[in-house]
Amino acid sequence: MIIKPRVRGFLCTTTHPVGCDANVRQQIDYVRAQGPIENGPKKVLVIGASTGYGLASRISAAFGAGAATLGIFFEKEGTEKKPGTAGWYNSAAFHKYAEAEGLYAKSINGDAFSDEIKQKTIDTIKADLGQVDLVVYSLAAPRRQHPVTGVVHSSTLKPIGSDTVQKGVNTDKGEIQDFHLEAASQEEIDNTVAVMGGEDWQMWIDALDEAGVLAEGAKTTAYTYIGEKITWDIYWHGTIGAAKKDLDKRVVDIRERLAKNGGDARVSVLKAVVTQASAAIPAMPIYLAILFKVMKEQGVHEGCIEQVDGLFRDSLYGATPRLDDEGRLRADGKELAPAVQETVAEIWGRISTENLTSESDFDGYRQEFLRLFGFEIDGVDYEADVDPVVPISNLV
């Protein structure tokens, strides 16, 4: 099968297995080039391990600290007629490279919100690892079936309090336009918090701790994004922000639970990057395109792997963690630097369809978006016939 990208809005409906493999390999090479992570984790559970920051966490733990990793994700395998999801191919590549290094790697494919997958994870840890010393929570799902009530909650991308008009870009046409966003109802806010907030993270830690599979001194982190004023209406002050603020509330109890055994729990703040989730937020593609231009010009641009590798070295396992007043670990300093944000704000004020490509790195944004699906990777022959059926070894 010769696979080409098919993009509709913020979705790419095709994926390239060889490209995904090459993308994973590049991230592994980056981590290795930084040298070993001193005092890093040895047995790691990554919940949401197949794309973005979760995948980068698994790669950093395995190839930076030599850790055994167990990954949880919900992905589709390819068939002879249709490619699988990018997360499936990413995970298959990760397994291949980890096993070539003699590193333990197993994965569980299923609904991480369910009690069934939590129990399967606990059973696997008990059988293979005994205990884990780091739990990374990096789920990005549009809906969640609550394991207790059975209710299916769906998240929304809406402002809170009042309607708003936000500048964005039609990624299909490359045109700047205004997006009118209706204010969320309380039910929509509550549903978004149920999907993207901290309840499931807390349920995971409670279940793991009660099962005795958290090692003494175990750490856990969940990822968040705060950003700056340009994105606050739809993000930090919107429904997603309400969910992220729920992480800040939940982490207090999680930290207290783990502290009893010498452990710790932190929310980690990361910078804006291109992900399947961020591509769906109206203001983010244009904000990212401007941010890329500015950070590249200032020599401080970072993607997922640079962010997470730095987080592990500087804060999670560093001697002097970068903490804010709320007790969060911060890895977003380069994005929020005044020199960056002031320039971004200036460009934001004058960006238009006519100057989109000159005033922003929209081409770079589109390339990063396609890279999520295995396209636009240097060294990959996209005219070659590839097999879309790629098994994941050691799938539990």
User: Which residues fall in the annotated binding site?
Assistant: 48-53, 74-75, 111-112, 139-140, 225, 244, 273-275
- Tokens for 347? 């460009």
- Tokens for 133? 């010393």
Q: Do 71 and 60 meet the contact criterion of CB atoms below 8 Å apart?
A: no
List the binding residues for NAD(+). Answer: 48-53, 74-75, 111-112, 139-140, 244, 273-275
Q: How many residues does the chain have?
A: 396
- Token pair 């059926």 is found at 389
Q: Do 389 and 77 meet the contact criterion of CB atoms below 8 Å apart?
A: yes
Nearest-5° Cα angle at 187, 268 to 225: 15
Q: Do 326 and 248 meet the contact criterion of CB atoms below 8 Å apart?
A: yes
Q: Do 192 and 315 meet the contact criterion of CB atoms below 8 Å apart?
A: no
Q: Is 317 a catalytic residue?
A: no
Beta bridge partners of 43: 68
What is the CB neighbour count within 10 angstroms for residue 9? 10
Q: Which of 89, 235, 287, 365 is catalytic?
A: 235
Beta bridge partners of 167: 178
Q: What is the dihedral of CA 279, 281, 282, 288, to 10 degrees?
A: -50
List the binding residues for substrate. Answer: 225
Pairing, β 105-109 against β 11-12: unpaired
Q: How far apart are CA 139 and CA 306, in angstroms?
A: 19
Q: If DSSP codes are grouped into helix, strand and coil, which group holds residue 102? A: coil
CA quadruple 270, 273, 277, 282: dihedral sign: positive
Task: Please list the active-site residues.
Answer: 235
